[in-house]
């Protein structure tokens, strides 16, 4: 674990003053930094490396961290948060998210799961707690995309709302400031917004220049739900098992490359600048100081031109990388069935 002195968190150095990072105002009035650090190490970044990145990222100005129990590193990230708090960062300067995993949707499991995340992260409360996926399906970590769970179930709204009612209790208990959704679709969100006592404050979803999801993005904004964009660079280092032949590579797109060359930055930075300027909150993952610093600097440097923004709007390929195949609940289904592409929830 990197040891850093108090000065590392308070001097500006080559980092960014957290006050200069744009913020999103949630419907509660809370202000969330418009860029966060992803913490899913997947196969390539072990927990200690991710925890070191949390400390390093905070030292260059990050204050928003996207965690989840299924990333299997919250205990190490908890130690990193302790380092930050002991070195002069106040808890209320941080924005910390965790997520309820898919095998913990049962009523009796929601509150204990959140409490476990709080314990691991060594926190009294979370800023946001999300239902990670709308499907209550267990699959083992590192499962191949062809793996299917025998007890897999489709989205059943009544069941989801039972889970949601427990999420609402977490707010009542003061353990969580906001609750939110992830990997949702418009028809599912319509029902949740109709039936929730406490409305989702955020929805986390895949968003990058080759997967812009304009309809869902606009729907959420119109309904006052902030949009958090995962895999904002196109998750270039995701495991081979999560790639399919039709997947594209946003950071190799000629439009992104042209802008990157002109600005003298890595194409990843163009993806991050576009994301923040468009109005979503990207949560790029990196354990490399040069890269996470470059992403943050990209957010506070001169904006992309209107022409660049329009050019990027024009390269959407509707290419989803995180398809969720392991959540399919019947034989011979297509992964598109998970995403309600016909505008209605795919029947059981």
* Catalytic (active-site) positions: 71
Task: For the segment 78-137, give every residue that binds ligand NAP (CB under 6 A).
Answer: 132
Determine which residue in the list 288, 305, 336, 342 makes contact with ligand NAP, applying CB under 6 A: 288
Distance CA 65, CA 36 (A): 5
Distance CA 73, CA 84 (A): 17
Task: For the segment 4-33, give every residue that binds ligand NAP (CB under 6 A).
Answer: none
Q: Tokens 């930075």 sit at which residue?
A: 269
Distance CA 100, CA 77 (A): 17
Determine which residue in the list 98, 287, 325, 346 makes contact with ligand NAP, applying CB under 6 A: 287
Tokens linked to 288? 């490399």
Per-position x/- string for 200-219, each x denoting binding to ligand NAP as judged by CB under 6 A, each - no binding: ----x---------------
Per-position x/- string for 64-83, each x denoting binding to ligand NAP as judged by CB under 6 A, each - no binding: --x-----------------
- What is the H or E stretch that residue 307 is in? helix 306-313
Q: How far is the CB of 215 from ligand NAP (least distance, A)?
A: 19
Q: How many C-beta atoms lie closer than 10 Å to residue 130's C-beta?
A: 26
Distance CA 171, CA 185 (A): 24
CA 285, 287, 291, 294 dihedral sign is positive
Q: How far is the CB of 88 from ligand NAP (least distance, A)?
A: 25
Total of residues contacting ligand NAP (CB under 6 A): 30
Nearer Cβ to ligand NAP (83/287) = 287
Q: Is 346 in the site for ligand NAP (CB under 6 A)?
A: no
Looking at the DSSP assignment, which residues form a beta bridge with residue 227? 203
Contact residues for ligand NAP (CB under 6 A)? 38-40, 66, 132, 182-183, 204, 230-238, 266, 268-269, 283-288, 291, 294-295, 322
């Amino acid at each position: 674990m990197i040891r850093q002195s108090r000065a590392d968190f308070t001097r500006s150095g080559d980092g960014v003053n957290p006050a200069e990072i744009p913020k999103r105002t949630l419907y509660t009035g809370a202000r969330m930094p418009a860029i966060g650090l992803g913490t899913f190490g997947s196969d390539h970044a072990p927990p200690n490396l991710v925890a070191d990145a949390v400390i390093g990222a905070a030292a260059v100005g990050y204050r928003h961290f996207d965690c989840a129990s299924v990333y299997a590193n919250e205990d190490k990230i908890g130690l990193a948060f302790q380092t930050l708090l002991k070195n002069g960062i106040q808890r209320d300067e941080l924005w910390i998210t965790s997520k309820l995993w898919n095998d913990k949707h049962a009523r009796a499991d929601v509150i204990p799961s959140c409490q476990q995340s709080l314990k691991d992260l060594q926190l009294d409360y979370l800023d946001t707690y999300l239902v990670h996926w709308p499907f209550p399906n267990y699959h083992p970590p590192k499962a191949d995309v062809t793996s299917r769970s025998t007890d897999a179930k489709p989205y059943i709204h009544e069941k989801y709302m039972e889970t949601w009612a427990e999420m609402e209790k977490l707010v009542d208990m003061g353990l969580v400031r906001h609750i939110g959704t992830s990997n949702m679709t418009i028809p599912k969100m319509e029902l949740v917004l109709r039936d929730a006592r406490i409305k989702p404050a955020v929805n986390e979803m895949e968003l990058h220049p080759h997967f812009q999801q304009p309809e869902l993005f606009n729907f959420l904004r119109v309904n006052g739900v902030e949009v958090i964009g995962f895999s904002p660079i196109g998750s270039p280092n995701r495991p081979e098992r999560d790639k399919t032949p039709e997947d594209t590579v946003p950071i190799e797109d000629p439009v992104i490359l042209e802008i990157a060359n002109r600005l003298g930055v890595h194409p990843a930075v163009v993806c991050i600048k576009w994301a923040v300027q468009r109005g979503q909150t990207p949560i790029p993952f990196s354990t490399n100081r040069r890269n996470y610093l470059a992403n943050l600097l990209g957010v506070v440097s001169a904006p992309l031109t209107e022409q660049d923004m329009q050019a990027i709007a024009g390269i959407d390929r509707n290419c989803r990388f995180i398809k969720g195949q392991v959540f399919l609940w019947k034989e011979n289904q297509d992964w598109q069935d998970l995403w309600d592409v016909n505008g209605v929830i795919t029947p059981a």
